[in-house]
Amino acid sequence: EDQVTQSPEALRLQEGESSSLNCSYTVSGLRGLFWYRQDPGKGPEFLFTLYSAGEEKEKERLKATLTKKESFLHITAPKPEDSATYLCAVQARGSGTYKYIFGTGTRLKVLA
Amino acid sequence: EAGVTQFPSHSVIEKGQTVTLRCDPISGHDNLYWYRRVMGKEIKFLLHFVKESKQDESGMPNNRFLAERTGGTYSTLKVQPAELEDSGVYFCASSLDYIETQYFGPGTRLLVL
């Protein structure tokens, strides 16, 4: 069964303290892996799409990487405005459907 | 360009009542998805429309849920009759093509008392 696991569940960082969030997945055939940011009371906001192992994407202080089993979201020198829940989702190839399978997310709090 | 919009933003109803949620996708997006997040759980897929046709409705919990997308534009999700366990946040998403990134709306927060 396709499954996505994110860790840690919650993370508190001091401003400027770099860290990484993990998303491990088990799917029969990966079509794509997606990272979203979600602020309280809002919908998921798209960050990155990764399609193949070895691929990397960057945006400001965020960098997403992908291996055959997991993805990392690296946050370099975070600021308080980076505080949010970060969601990982996978889309499986050949499953006959194109739904996303989400992890439960990592709640990030960056302290000033 | 306007994003995905959902209405209402919040709904509080009593068990046994009916509620209809609406989603307006990004203009030109043929693919429309409904998801739900219940307290403490991950966001879960409900169904997928391609234009007005249901492509996949494997995530619909039971026959109390009815989704429609007449004309291939906006979509409605009706819950009738609502039960306590239907409480949660209902998200709508749309994409240009099924392999493209899905863009999410702000969600409708449903509370069934």
**Cβ atoms of B52 and B70 closer than 8 Å:** yes
Residue from A24, A27, A98 to probe the interface with B (highest B Cβ count within 10 Å): A98
Partner residue opposite A49 with nearest CB, options B6, B101, B105? B101
With an 8 Å Cβ cutoff, is A40 touching chain B? Answer: no
Q: What is the pLDDT of residues A13-39, one digit of tens each?
A: 999 999 999 999 998 888 899 999 999
* Tokens found for residue A69: 């089993």
Residue from A6, A38, A97 to probe the interface with B (highest B Cβ count within 10 Å): A97
A99 falls in which pLDDT band (50, 70, 90)? Answer: confident
Number of CB atoms found within 10 A of residue A20's CB: 12
Is the pLDDT at A80 greater than 80? The verdict is yes
Residue by residue, DSSP assigns B50-107 as ETTEEEE-TT--STTEEEE-GGGS-EEEEESS--GGG-EEEEEEEESSTTSPPEE---
Among B86, B91, B47, smallest CA distance to B68 is for: B47
Q: Which residues pair with A57 in a beta bridge?
A: A64
The CA angle B109-A43-A12, to the nearest 5 degrees, is: 105
pLDDT of residue A95: 60
Q: What is the pLDDT of residues B57-66, one digit of tens each?
A: 999 999 999 9
Q: What is the pLDDT of residues B29-46, one digit of tens each?
A: 999 999 999 988 999 999
Query: Cα–Cα distance between B63 and B75 in angstroms, integer?
Result: 17
Q: Average pLDDT over chain A, rounded to whole?
A: 94
Query: Cα–Cα distance between A84 and A97 in angstroms, integer?
Result: 29
Q: What is the pLDDT of residues B73-106, one digit of tens each?
A: 999 999 999 999 999 999 999 999 888 899 999 9
Q: Is the peptide bond before A8 cis (omega within 30 degrees of 0)?
A: yes
Q: Which residues pair with B24 in a beta bridge?
A: B5
